[in-house]
Structure 1
C-alpha cells in the first residue's frame, strides 16, 4: 500500500517525529511511505489544513496514494477538509482504539490526527500504536464481528451517497481557486512522488498544467 503523509504549517516542527513513527510501523509491514511535506517550519511551500484536504483528494483520486495520513493542531480541520473531497473518507484518530475501530468499522482511506492537542510525553509511542492498529492486518472486518455484514453494507451506501453529492475530482480541481491549488502542489517533492505514482492521466495532466502556470 502507498501511504502519503501530509503535515500542515502549524505542526511542521513535528514532521520528523511523525514521519519516523509512521515509517517505523508501516515499512516493515511492506507498505511504502511518501512524505509530501511539510518537512520543516521554514519550508517555502506552506500547507494549511485546507490544502491538506485538497492534496488528499488529489492523491487518493489519482491513485498516487492508497491511504493518507494527515493532521493539524486538533485534527478536526484536516479531517473536515479531507471529507470535503470526493472519494476521501477520513476519520479522526486520537488513540489506538480510534485507529482500530476506524479501520475495522469504517475502512476509510485517510486519517487525521491531533499533533498539538494532547501531544505530550511519549507521543511518538502513541503514534506508532495507532499506525500499528491501522496498518497491521486486514481492515474492514467489522467490530463486533457479528455486525460485519451491516457495516460493510453501510460503507457501500455511504460511498454511493458521497458520489451522488460530490463532483468528480477533475471537475473539483477545475472549480477550486487555482492559486490555492497551485500553492497546495508546490511542495519540493510533490512532483517527484505524484508523477511517479499517479494513475489517472486526466488528473495528472491537469495538475501538471497548473504547476506550469
Structure 2
C-alpha cells in the first residue's frame, strides 16, 4: 500500500514526528509513505484544512496513493474537507480502537487525526499504536468478524447508492473551483515530483498536467 501523508498549516511543525512514526509502522507491513507536506509552519507553500480534501481527492483519484493520512487540530475539519469529495471516505481516529474499527468496519481510504487536542506527553506512543491498529490487518475484515459480509453490503450501499449519487464527479468538482487557487495549491516541487512519478493515466491526470504544465 502506498500511503500519502498530508499536514495542514496549524499542525505542520508536527510533520517530521508524524512521518517518523508512520514510517516505522508502514515499513513493518511493507507499505510506503510519501510526504506531501506541509513540512513546517514556516513553509512558503501553505495548505489549510479546507484544502486537505482537494489534495487527498486528487492523490487518490490519480492513483498516486492508496490511502491518505491527514488531520488538523481537532481532526474534524480535515475529515469534513475530505468527505466533501465523491472518491474519499475519510474516518476520524483519536485512539487505536477508533483506527482499528474504521479499518475493519468502514474500510475507507483516508483517516483524519487530531494533532492538537490532547496531544502532549506520550502522544507519539498513542500515534504509533493508532497506526499499528489501522494497518495491522487487511481492511474490511469485519468487527465482529461474523458481521463482515453485512458490513460490506452496508459500505457498498453507502458509497455507491448514496455518496456516489449525491456528489459531483471528481474532475467536475475540481473544474468548478477557482482554477488559480487550485493551481496555487498544487504548484509546489514535492507534489509535482510525486505526480510525475506515480499519477496513472486518465482524465484527471491529463487535467492536472495541463493545469500545472508538467
Q: TM-score, normalised by structure 1?
A: 0.96
* 1:34-75 deviation line (CA, Å, top 9, x unaligned): 000000111111000111110010011111110000000000
Say if 2:163 is the partner of 1:162.
yes
Question: Runs of at least 4 residues of structure 1 off by over 4 A?
Answer: none
Q: Distance in 2 between matches of 1:48 and 1:151?
A: 33
Match in the other structure for 1:183: 184
Task: Give the superposition deviation at 1:113.
Answer: 0.3
Q: What is the CA RMSD across the aligned residues, in angstroms?
A: 1.3
What is aligned with 1:198?
199
* Cα separation, 1, equivalents of 2:112 and 2:36: 15
**Cα deviation, residue 88, structure 1:** 0.5
Q: What is the SS of the residue equivalent to 2:196?
A: helix
- 1:136-175 aligned within 5 A: 136-160=136-160, 161-175=162-176
User: Aligned partners of 1:176, 1:200: CA distance in 2, in Å?
Assistant: 22
Q: Is the Cα–Cα contact under 8 Å of residues 51 and 180 in structure 1 kept in the other structure?
A: no
1:80 is matched with 80
Aligned to 1:33: 33
Per-residue CA deviation, residues 57-115 of structure 1 (Å, 9 max, x unaligned), is 00111111100000000000000000001110000010000000000000000000001
1:189 aligned counterpart, secondary structure: helix
Question: What is the alpha-carbon distance in structure 2 between the residues aligned to residue 164 and residue 125 of structure 1?
Answer: 40
How far does the alpha carbon of each residue in 1:123-174 deviate from its partner, in whole angstroms, 9 at most, with x for none? Answer: 1111111111111221211111222111100000011111111111111111
- How far is the alpha carbon of 1:178 from its aligned partner? 1.5
More displaced 10-residue stretch of structure 1: 186-195 or 103-112: 186-195
- Quick one: distance in 1 between partners of 2:94 and 2:187? 29
When the two structures are aligned, how many residues end up with a matched partner?
213
**Structure possessing the higher relative contact order (Cα contacts under 8 Å, 6 or more residues apart):** 1
